[in-house]
Amino acid sequence: MKLLEWTFGIIAIFGTGLRRAVPGAILTAWLAAFLPGVSMAGTDLIFGTYAADKPTATVKKYQPFLSFLAKRMSEELGEPVTIRLKIAKEYEEGIRQLASGEVDFSRFGPASYVHVMKENPDVRIIAMESQNGQKRFKGVIVVHSDSTVQSVEELAGLSFAFGDELSTIGRYLAQEYLLDAGISSGDLLEFAYLGRHDLVGEAVGAGKYTAGALKESTYKKLVAKGVPIRVLASFDNVTKPWLASPEMPEDVLEAMRNVMLSSENEEIVRRISKNGFLLGDDQDYDIIRRAMERSLAF
């Protein structure tokens, strides 16, 4: 089964369309209990993402926020909102789902945003995650904690583990950083794309590769688990955008944006974005476009 699917919301309404009617006396009773005074019409949304980490960790991460978002959007729209989670195993599938409208909104890495905009330029930014009020955070290149390598330049002739071939940190920004240090693919003994960030860190910790690129938050989690890796270098990345499919109605998009940008958001938001959300613009991702272009020379 290529996709794993879960439902979060006030009630479980299984369907794929937006704003479908919800029949049944039992659902009527549930609506009266949860949202007294609202009409039977409701909004059923599918949130799509891809497994940059273990799928079980992805579900645990998103479940509280999606439930919170559904509740608050129900208040904003004056009708019940349900949100289902669909996790694609591969980046390409997640990108295709949003571009085609198979899912209604997504949380992507910056490079995936650039890719999805090429497939469908009508995709819209709902908001960007905030990192201490900024739109930048760090990616890291790690080596084994016992490694004698002290600079990126010393990686020539050694092995390197990248993440997914469409990963912002795991490929594009890391390859740009290596190129700036004078290292291309031909200068490495070997390299491979391992997919998830945690797999990269674990492979370096196990001595399978000399170095690897992963996001800083995954690095910290792995170190806390006892994986023997240390940071060799770090580089800037742009925070993740939350994106709406071209088919999402404007009032639904605005309700979602209002909830995400609210200064009154509960602590639950910090599990997804430590400092909430910011308005985003396509130009915020120009540094990612540059890295993607430069990586072609890798």
Domain segments of the chain as ranges: 3-133+239-285, 136-238
| Rounded alpha-carbon distances, angstroms, from residue 163 to 131, 166, 182, 216 | 22, 8, 21, 13
d(CA 293, CA 183): 16
- Per-residue pLDDT at 15 exceeds 90: no
204-237, pLDDT tens digit by residue?
Answer: 999 999 999 999 989 999 999 999 999 999 999 9
Residue with the bigger pLDDT between 16 and 107: it is 107
- Residue closest to 168 by CA, chosen among 227, 121, 107: 107
Q: What is the pLDDT of residue 276?
A: 85
Q: What is the pLDDT of residue 286?
A: 95
DSSP-H helix ranges across 142-284: 174-180, 197-205, 216-224, 250-261
Backbone angles phi, psi at 82, to 5 degrees: -120, 150
- Per-residue pLDDT at 169 exceeds 70: yes
pLDDT band at 35 (very low <50, low <70, confident <90, very high): very low
Residue 246: helix, strand or coil by DSSP?
A: coil
Q: What is the pLDDT of residue 266?
A: 66
185-198, pLDDT tens digit by residue?
Answer: 999 999 999 999 99
**Which distant-in-sequence residues (6+ apart) come within 8 Å of 250 by Cβ?**
none
**CATH architecture label of 3-133+239-285:** 3-Layer(aba) Sandwich (3.40)
Q: For residue 34, with 0-12 CB atoms within 10 Å meaning exposed, 13-18 middle and 19 or more buried, which class applies?
A: middle
pLDDT band at 52 (very low <50, low <70, confident <90, very high): low
Average pLDDT estimate for 170-175: 96
253-272, pLDDT tens digit by residue?
Answer: 999 999 999 866 667 776 67
Q: Give the number of other CB atoms < 10 A from CB of residue 149.
A: 16
86-134, pLDDT tens digit by residue?
Answer: 999 888 999 999 999 999 999 998 999 999 999 999 999 999 998 888 8
- Residue closest to 85 by CA, chosen among 129, 114, 44, 119: 44
Q: Do domains 3-133+239-285 and 136-238 have the same CATH topology?
A: yes
Regarding pTM above 0.75, the answer is no
Averaged confidence pLDDT in the chain = 85
| CATH no. for 136-238 | 3.40.190.10
